[in-house]
Structure 1
C-alpha cells in the first residue's frame, strides 16, 4: 500500500455502486478503443474497471463501458472552446451547445469474460465548480456489437484520491489555472451521491516520479436489469458525432 491508495467500500454481490449524473458534456462518438488520450498532454493514467452483477457478484461480460473526462486544463472534447475556469449552471445532457468535433478522452470497451475493461488515458484535470472525476456509462448488450439491442444499466462518476490529485495538479500540464479546484468533500455531487464509494484505488506506476503515471482500478456493481434514469438509449443515438 502507498500514500496514493484509497479504498472504496465494495463487497462483490452485496453492494450496488451509486449512480451519478451524466453531466452536460456527454456525447457518443462510437469509438471502441482502449487508448483514448489522442496525444492529450497530461500525466498518464491506466484504468481498469471490473463490472460485476451486484446481486450475484458474478462478472458481467460483453457490457459496453463508455468513459469520458476533461483534459489537464479542464476542457472536454466537443466543448473545447467552453472556458473551464467559469462555472456552468446546468448539469443536464445537451444543456451546453457543442463547439467542435474533437473526440479526445472519450471511448468505450466491451468487458471481457472477467467483466474487465482497460483504458489508457491521462489523469483528468478539473473545471470550475467540480472535483476531479471520470464519467462512466455501462450498457448491457446482447452481443459484442454496437448494433445489438442494448440498454443503459448504470451511469456514474469516478473520483480520484486527494493525495494523488494534489501531486498531479502541481505538474506543469495542470498548474497555472485562474480558478481553484474543489476537493472531493467540497463537491456537491461527491457528498450527496456516494462519492466515497466511487473513489478509485490509485497507485503510482513508477518509484521515482509521478510523471511516470498512475494506475487506477475499481469494481463497479450494477443491476443488469436496471434502466438508468441518467442516460437513456436514445441519448446515445441523439448525441453522436
Structure 2
C-alpha cells in the first residue's frame, strides 16, 4: 500500500493493496458524511486515506470510499445486541442477522482531486477473535449519486500499530472487557491476507496525552478496473438500509 521507496519518478507506481474479507457486519446505509462518530464514546481518530492507481501512481479522484468499524466496546451498528466478547462463527456477508437500525461508525466520502478522503471517527475497540481494525471499500463511480456506481474495485481492512493500541485499550471507554484483543500477528486475517501492508501510520494529536486522540493515514493502491470478489454490486443493493 505504501509508496515504493525505490521509485524516483514524478508519478511513482504504488504497490497493489492486498484485498481482505468484508466480514459479517457489512451494510450499505448510504450515509455520505465525514463525521461518522454519532457521539460514540472513545478516543477521537482523524482518518485520512489516499487512493491511488497502483498502475500509474495517479490519484483516483471521484471514487466513493466506505468505512465501517466497531465501537470502543466491540459492537457494530446494526448488530449492537451481538455480544462482542463471544466469537462469531462466520465471516460471510449477511451471515449474522441484524439486530437494530443504528448507523454509528459507518459512512462514505468521495475522493477529492488528490484522491484523498477524510473521516472523523473514534479509535475502534475490538471483538473476540480479532485485532483492532477498520473495514474499507472503494467503489468506482461516474457521478455524485450512489446509483451511478460502476463497480467495487477494492475491499480491505486497516490495522493499527500495537504500541498505540495498547495505550488506547487502557483508556476508560475501552476497559473492562470479558475478552482480550488479539495482537496483529495473532489475527488470522492480518497474518494471511497482507495485514502488515495495511497498517496505518498513527500519531497523537496532542503532545502530552493520548486523550486528545490520533491522526491516522494510509495510501492505498488499487486497480481501478478491477471487480472485487469480496463485495459484489448486488451486495450493496441487498444490504441497503
Using structure 2 for the length normalisation, give the TM-score.
0.96
Q: Secondary structure at the match of 2:179?
A: coil
Say if 1:79 and 1:99, in contact at 8 Å, map to a contact too.
Answer: yes
Cross-structure match for 2:190: 190
Distance (whole Å) between structure 1 residues aligned to residue 80 and residue 95 of structure 2: 15
Kept after mapping to 1: 8 A contact 2:65/2:139: yes
Q: What per-residue deviation string (whole Å, max 9, x for no partner) do you get for residues 12-40 of structure 1?
A: 51310000000000000000000000000
Q: Deviations over 1:174-196 (max 9, x none)?
A: 00000011000100000110011
CA RMSD in angstroms comes to: 0.8
Deviation at 1:207, TM superposition (A): 0.6
Which residue pairs with 1:10 in the alignment?
A: 3
List gaps (5 residues or longer) in structure 1.
1-7
Q: CA deviation at 1:146?
A: 1.3
- Unaligned runs of 5+ residues in structure 2 are 5-11
Task: Report the secondary structure of 1:121's partner residue.
Answer: strand
Q: Counterparts of 1:54 and 1:14 in 2: how far apart (Å)?
A: 5
Q: Any idea what the Cα deviations from partners look like across 1:37-77, whole Å, max 9, x if unmatched?
A: 00000000000000000000000000000000000000000
Aligned to 1:163: 163
The alpha-carbon deviation at position 10 of structure 1 amounts to: 3.5
Counterparts in 2 of 1:94-113, with a 5 A limit? 94-113=94-113
Using the alignment, how far apart are the partners of 2:25 and 2:143 within structure 1? Answer: 27
Q: How many residues align?
A: 234
SS of residue matched to 2:104: coil
Distance apart, 1:170 and its partner CA:
0.2
